């Protein structure tokens, strides 16, 4: 009964995590509108070429639409989970031994399976973003027209700052939502803490398995040692397989998610630059604009009253 309950809870946890994905139906229109506004403003910059900026956004989303790696990860996760279930149900009696031996495989398999389920369920979000970037790129090229061969080519790392400075010149639109969306988009794909915990857990489980294998006595013909060796092998196998799988997957995920963290930091810096440039522009325009002041005036000598008009430039 306990084993069946454990299997049921594990299955529910997988599908529960797979369903925990954001709804992007309303966000899609916002992305398209913001990106087109940005494209129109960047097209006004006659001194720089922004084609690589848009192309990188498109390629980044397209690379995350791929489902092949998620399928492979799901197959591996399901396989490892199934192996854990076999260990859990392979013992004739309920007890701590079955749970201990199966736990490394179950933890690793469920972790990997649920992560790939979530990634596959978010595939349509990246598709919608890619389409919005492609529409914006098309608008940019139409507004810009022919590209001058002498236009300045800038390093890709400078594009975020360049875009922020260009958008700050537009007094008719507020681009806070554009930067906020880009920052949150990258933040939502950061799971570095979870990945580090997975690496630690995987390394710990693998170490336990290696210690179990190292306890096997190869040179002994004693019957008791043979039984002990079999027990150590049974203990070591699930810990090594489950732990190493968990370690490898989270190591890969850490490298992948660190790129999202770097993009988020770059977007946050660009947003701060945009706000500073925009505040400076507003202050400069205010100082250069004419101000009209109307003040009351009284003349005691003539017993009259009126108003004074002052125009300040």
Q: How far apart are CA 98 and CA 240, in angstroms?
A: 16
CA-based nearest residue to 175, from 100, 302, 285, 272: 272
Give the pLDDT of residue 192.
Answer: 77
3-class SS at 243? helix
Give the pLDDT of residue 83.
Answer: 81
Average pLDDT along the chain, 313 residues, taken 10 residues at a time: 47 47 52 83 84 86 77 84 78 62 81 81 81 89 69 63 87 86 84 83 87 76 71 81 86 84 88 88 60 58 58 52
User: How is residue 110 written in tokens?
Assistant: 């469920």
Structural domain containing residue 288: 2-312
Domain count, the chain: 1
Q: How far apart are CA 55 and CA 35, in angstroms?
A: 13
Give the pLDDT of residue 187.
Answer: 86
Q: How many CA atoms are closer than 13 Å to the CA of 44, on its beta-carbon side?
A: 12
Burial 160-169 (b: 16+ CB within 10 A, else e): bbbbbbbbbe
User: How is residue 79 written in tokens?
Assistant: 């396989």
Q: Cα 96 from chain centroid?
A: 39
CA-based nearest residue to 187, from 269, 119, 112, 265: 265
pTM over 0.75: no
Q: Measure Cα distances from 300 to 270, 304, 308 in Å.
A: 60, 7, 16
**Residue pair 272/255 in contact by the 8 Å Cβ criterion:** no
Helix locations, the chain, DSSP H: 2-19, 25-42, 51-63, 68-89, 96-121, 123-144, 159-167, 176-187, 192-214, 223-288
């Amino acid at each position: 009964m306990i084993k069946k309950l454990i299997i049921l809870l594990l299955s529910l946890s997988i599908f529960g995590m797979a369903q925990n994905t954001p709804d992007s139906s309303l966000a899609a229109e916002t992305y398209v509108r913001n990106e087109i506004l940005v494209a129109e403003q960047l097209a006004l910059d006659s001194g720089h070429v922004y084609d690589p900026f848009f192309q990188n956004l498109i390629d980044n989303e397209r690379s995350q639409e791929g489902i092949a790696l998620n399928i492979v990860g799901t197959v591996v996760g399901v396989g490892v989970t199934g192996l854990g279930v076999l260990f859990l149900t392979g013992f004739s009696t309920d007890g701590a031994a079955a749970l201990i031996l199966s736990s490394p495989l179950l933890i690793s398999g469920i972790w990997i399976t649920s992560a790939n389920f979530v990634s596959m369920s978010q595939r349509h979000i990246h598709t919608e973003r890619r389409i919005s970037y492609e529409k914006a790129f098309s608008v940019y090229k139409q507004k810009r027209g022919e590209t001058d061969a002498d236009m300045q080519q800038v390093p890709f790392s400078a594009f975020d700052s360049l875009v922020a400075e260009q958008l700050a010149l537009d007094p008719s639109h507020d681009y806070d939502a554009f930067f906020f969306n880009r920052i949150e988009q990258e933040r939502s794909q950061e799971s570095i803490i979870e990945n580090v915990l997975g690496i630690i857990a995987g390394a710990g489980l693998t170490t336990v398995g290696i210690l179990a294998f190292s306890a096997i006595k190869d040179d002994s013909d004693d019957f008791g040692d043979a039984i002990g060796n079999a027990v150590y092998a049974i203990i070591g196998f699930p810990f090594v397989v489950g732990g190493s799988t968990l370690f490898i997957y989270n190591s890969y995920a850490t490298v992948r998610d660190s790129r999202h963290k770097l993009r988020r930091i770059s977007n946050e810096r660009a947003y701060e630059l945009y706000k500073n440039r925009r505040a400076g522009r507003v202050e400069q325009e205010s100082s250069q604009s004419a101000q009209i002041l109307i003040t009351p005036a009284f003349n005691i000598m003539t017993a009259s009253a009126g108003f004074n008009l002052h125009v300040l430039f």
